[in-house]
Amino acid sequence: MAKQQNYEKQDLFEQRLAHHHDELRWLYMELYDNGSMFAELCDQMRQFWKERSKALKQRDAQRLEEADWYKSRDLLGMMLYIDRFAGNMKGVEKKLDYLTSAGVNCLHLMPFLDTVEGRSDGGYAVADFRTVRKDLGSMEDLEQLTTACHKQGINVCMDFVMNHTSCDHDWAKRALAGDGEYMSRYFFFDNEALVQEYEKTVPQVFPTTAPGNFTKMDNGYWVMTTFYPYQWDLNYRNPRVFNEMMYNFLYLANRGIDIMRIDAVPYIWKELGTSCRNLPRVHTIVRLMRMIGEIVCPSVILLGEVVMEPVKVTPYFGTAEKPECHLLYNVTSMCTIWNTLATHDARLLKGQLDSVGALPKEFVFLNYLRCHDDIGWGLDYDTLASWGMQQTSHKQYLNDFFLGRTPGSASRGQLYNDDIASGDARLCGTTASLCGLETAKTQEEYNQAVGLDLMLHSMMMFQSGIPMLYNGDEVGQLNDYSYEQNPHYAEDSRYLHRGQMRWDLVEQAKDTTTPAGRIFSGLNTLTQLRRKHPAFDADAPYTTLDTPHQSLLAIQRHKEGQTLVGVFNFDLQPRSLELPQGAYRCLQTGKEYPCQLELAPYQGLWLEQV
């Protein structure tokens, strides 16, 4: 009891504020040179801390004691759309036992804040940061859901879309009506020449659906819209924008969120004459946000969405003294895994794993195969070029493979944002469809697709960090083509892999001989094995091993005297390899293997050296 009261002592907040105060103030003043806005920020932080529930303050205290909780090998994430999974927030609450049965203890609830259908970008165009989308529930439902999740040992993640608001946001409406105070919260120009100046150096995110980075409005003004025309970029040069967005962050944190996924973070600072990506000020803002979180709600951690090449990703971890994000997506490994499948060549993946393995062990990645977005082919093209492969033709090769146009490919995907002019395109589809489950007709084809699906998941889960499943993948859900008939979605092929949850597959999965059952139980086994073996800890050293054939990948991990080797065959041919001297036992089956072994097509094994 005495300890419980300690969580609530005002001193705790003041101590944490004092600890960060100098750096917080220094960075804030460097950005804004505005003492009264800084004072307001501190007051509001104190207020949000006061309003934070007892239970969450207790969670803060616990997490401060086990500050490395997010590095644990116990974690398994799943991302899902509330409506497609279970109708609404209350529905999700009723399905928590299902999530637990799948081993899930980190739940990423896809965007659920107020948004207007038809200009929503899957919820990434937020009209109100303090209101839940009506059909999904209310803020009370959210609190009830996060409380229920916490009771069941599940951490909750949500998106904090801070780069832009929707054009339906109150600020945007006032700006459009000509209110200067609100116009200054966005990038409004009446001077087209200035717009053209920006366009000279700022690349385009969606070249086909949203040409240019600005949208012209009926009142003659131009507004910056990096993503869709209805997503208006916020101007973080305005301290009012920064302060208010931090208040929104704290408000949402106080609803029981554990992991804030900061959406599109590289884009949040803009400067004329630059690419407006990854600018130094972005890091100042993320660092400020990290400190604000540590002061008010220290159990909340930051997951940065940085879909960039590796050299641009890792700076978002910050440094040991000045950390920024706790977690980042391992986006390059993700797309390189798919590249390996299409090329039967694991060399690029080996190089990628070596570079990730050489990073400080404090850096924790979120590993995944599929998510709600497309697969953008952000590969190491310099290395590919040194092997004679050119970017455009290579992307075309990959897309042809996953569209099932290449002889021998059983894959079924669709293109996303294909730009005929540049030949650039990205890819959509569920894991199971990309692995050939959709086209399988014979038992042999089913076996191959299920085997491949499990092999890719086992490779993904053999990496260090938190594995994150995309909802539906746990039962081998296929592409859903119904979006093509929906006028709101038809233009956005990402809806191909955003179908309704197929609860009939969950039923089928009870029979472990069905494809759904084999995938569900296979993934469950991998999760249990990860939890059991210390060598899966995020800080366990790992290295890749040389293999005699380029379609083979071998990774070694060790900790506490245990050595594990993951071997994966990305080929339709059986392949042999020789592991370091010794005998091995398969973690999945208990079968013994000599160091000379042969892998069947698309086979993956987790082996322990005995």
Contact residues for ligand GLC (CB under 6 A)?
A: 121-122, 124, 161, 227, 263-264, 305, 372-373
Which residue, judged by CB position, is nearest to ligand GLC in the bound state? 124
Q: Whole-angstrom Cα distance, residue 542 to residue 536?
A: 9
Structure tokens belonging to residue 98: 């299902």
Place of tokens 């059952």: 517
Tokens at residue 88, please?
């609404």
Which phi and psi (to 5°) does residue 586 adopt? -75, 130
Closest approach of ligand GLC to the CB of residue 551, in Å:
31
Q: What share of the chain is helix, strand, coil (3-state, %, to 5)?
A: 45, 20, 40
At closest approach, how far in Å is the CB of 250 from ligand GLC? 21
Residue 15 CB coordination number (10 Å): 11
CB of 550 to ligand GLC, least distance (A): 32
Tokens of residue 350, six digits: 């080996």
CB of 115 to ligand GLC, least distance (A): 11
* Of residues 24, 23, 35, 26, the one with CA closest to residue 239: 35
CB of 176 or CB of 205, closer to ligand GLC: 205
Classify burial at 43, counting beta carbons within 10 Å of its beta carbon; exposed 0-12, middle 13-18, buried 19 or more: exposed
- Whole-angstrom distance, CA of residue 138 vs CA of residue 519: 35
Q: Which is nearer to ligand GLC, 210 or 605 (CB)?
A: 210
Q: Which is nearer to ligand GLC, 165 or 527 (CB)?
A: 165
Spatial neighbors of 151 by CB under 8 A, at least 6 apart, are none
Active site residue 537: no
Closest approach, Cβ 287 to ligand GLC, in A, equals 21
- Amino acid at site 128: D
Instruction: Enumerate residues 6+ apart whose C-beta is below 8 A from 106.
Output: 75, 76, 77, 78, 154, 155, 156, 157, 258, 259, 466, 468
Nearer to ligand GLC, 91 or 122 (CB): 122
Q: For residue 304, give the DSSP letter.
A: E
Residue 82 phi, psi dihedral angles, 5° rounding? -55, -50
Catalytic residue among 114, 159, 168, 263: 263
Residue 162 or 437 with smaller CB distance to ligand GLC:
162
- At 403, list the tokens: 């569209």
199 catalytic, yes or no?
A: no
Q: Which of 305, 438, 453, 537 is flagged as catalytic?
A: 305
What number of H helices and E strands is found in the chain? 22, 25
CA distances from 399 to 236, 332, 413, 433, 441 (A): 37, 17, 8, 14, 23
Give the nearest distance from C-beta 110 to ligand GLC in angstroms: 9
Count of Cβ atoms closer than 10 Å to residue 309 Cβ: 14
Smallest distance, ligand GLC to C-beta of residue 494, A: 7
CB of 119 to ligand GLC, least distance (A): 12
At what angle are helices 331-343 and 443-461 packed, to 10 degrees?
A: 150
Q: 49 or 129, CB closer to ligand GLC?
A: 129
Whether the CB-CB separation of 268 and 236 falls below 8 Å is answered with yes
Give the whole-angstrom CA distance, residue 251 versus residue 245. Answer: 10
Closest distance between ligand GLC and the C-beta of residue 166, in Å?
A: 10
Alpha-carbon distance of 468 to 562, in angstroms, equals 25
Q: Show which residues are catalytic.
A: 263, 305
